[in-house]
Each structure stands twice: as structure tokens, then as C-alpha cells.
Amino acid sequence: MIDLVRMESLLSGYGLPSDPALCENLDRYGALLWEWNQKMNLTAITDPEGMEVKHFLDSLLFLKVYTPKEGSRLIDVGTGAGFPGVPLALARRDLSVTLLDSLNKRLLFLEAVAKELSLSVERIHGRAEELGRKEEYREQFDCATARAVAHLRELSEYCLPFVRVGGAFVALKGPDMETELLESRYAIEQMGGEVESINEFSLPDGSKRTLLVLRKNRPTPTKYPRNAGKIKKEPLIRR
């Protein structure tokens, strides 16, 4: 499916884990993604080079900005077809990875991926704003991550409630984050977080990525996260 030599070179060029076993597993993952995408809409990116760069490299850039301790619990919120959670689970098999998505058909695909690649990942069907209030998930994770198009302000309310104090939320975003970050600082603060680092990357195709590490320094107030309607209609901004 993907070019294994090119994938290995691509990862090593960014200083990321690039052993042949990882690249072979990414290849099998890509093949499954292509196969299942014929039956359901999982991704618009199905060409091998596009997968290598915009799915696999893009996901693994996480490891350039944040290094989870061995055995850490990580939750991928709104995982979709498994990004960045599955590549991270393949690169760091010591991690306890939870994949959360609101569409069950995506989780059926991820079940097949886990079986094919011998991954012991937890898959949860539900909405982040509801599960983030439940005792078994709230502040139970060392790290949360999301690769999503939602505004960072809303993403922070969805993700930071899952993170225990001392842990981090790593947001995978696009370019031009300056304005969005300014608009999100109050929400981040309300969730008990603070900006630890802002990391910018250029992909081989010239597209830009910004990865933000938000550190959780105090518990999230019990009134958060709010329901989806309030999150959308009443954004957290300093008044």
C-alpha cells in the first residue's frame, strides 16, 4: 500500500521512530483504511503518499512535542479513522490508548484495525461532553489528544476534563494559530489548563501544522464540560 522505504525515510527525517516493524504496521493500517473506505466514508485521503504524510507523519509529530511516560493512559477524542491514536499506539505499544468517537461505524473499523495489528486499545462510543462528566473517565488520563477542525476554545472544553492534574492535552491544529489561541486562552484557563508550548512544523508538501501542549494544573470545575448546545451557542470568552 504505502512505500515502506519512503515512510521510513520520512519519519527518520523528522527525528521520529522509524523502525521497519512500525512502517510495516502502518502499511497494513493503510491497506485496511483503503479497503474499508470503499464501503464507508472514513477519509478523503486514500493515495499512498497522502496517507504517509497527512495521516501517519502528521499523527506521529505528537511525539516531537510530548513524550508520555511509560504506561501512560492516553485518550484520542473524536478519533475518526484512528488519528492520531492508532499511529501513536503502534509507535508506543507501552501506552494504554483509548479511542473515543461518536459514530459506531468508525469504531467497527477500529476494531478490525486493532485485531489485525494486535493492538490492545480501548474503543468507546459516545460524546466527549457527556463522557467527560462521568467518574470513570473524568480526570483519569495522563494525556488527551485530538486532531480536529473545531476551534481550540471548544476543543479545550471537550478534552481537558479527561486529563488528570499534571497531565496534558496535545492539540493537533493547522497554521495561523495566533488569533485562535488568543480567543481560546480564557477557555483553557477555565478548564484548569495553561499553554506550555506552541510547536510549528512544515510537512513535505508545504502545508503547515501547529501542535499545542496545554498543561493541566488544577481540576476542571464540575460545571464543565457543558452540553454541546451551550458549548456552541455560549463560547467561553472573557466578558
Q: What is the mean pLDDT of residues 106-123?
A: 97
Cβ-contact 159, 144 below 8 angstroms: yes
What are the angstrom distances between the C-alpha of 10 and each of 18, 23, 44, 83? 8, 10, 21, 18
pLDDT score at 148: 80
Is it the case that residue 93 has pLDDT exceeding 80?
yes
The rounded distance, in Å, linking the Cα atoms of 186 and 193 is 10
Is it the case that residue 239 has pLDDT exceeding 80?
no
The rounded distance, in Å, linking the Cα atoms of 118 and 121 is 9
* Amino acid making up residue 120: S
pLDDT score at 174: 92
pLDDT score at 23: 97
Q: What is the mean pLDDT of residues 61-85?
A: 97
Q: What is the mean pLDDT of residues 208-225?
A: 97
pLDDT score at 1: 87
The rounded distance, in Å, linking the Cα atoms of 226 and 154 is 10
Q: What is the mean pLDDT of residues 109-121?
A: 97
pLDDT tens, residue by residue, 19-56: 999 999 999 999 999 999 999 999 999 999 999 999 99
Beta-carbon contacts of 45 under 8 Å, excluding residues fewer than 6 positions away, are 51, 54, 55
pLDDT tens, residue by residue, 143-188: 999 998 789 999 999 999 999 999 999 999 999 899 999 999 999 9
Q: What is the mean pLDDT of residues 125-142?
A: 97
**What's the length of the chain?**
239
In the chain, what are the domain boundaries? 71-233
- Long-range contacts made by residues 37-46, C-beta under 8 angstroms, separation at least 24? 40/105, 40/109, 42/80, 42/81, 42/106, 42/109, 43/80, 43/81
pLDDT score at 176: 83
Cβ-contact 123, 141 below 8 angstroms: no
pLDDT score at 50: 96
In this structure, whether the domain defined by 71-233 belongs to CATH 1.10.1140.10 is answered with: no
The rounded distance, in Å, linking the Cα atoms of 64 and 46 is 25
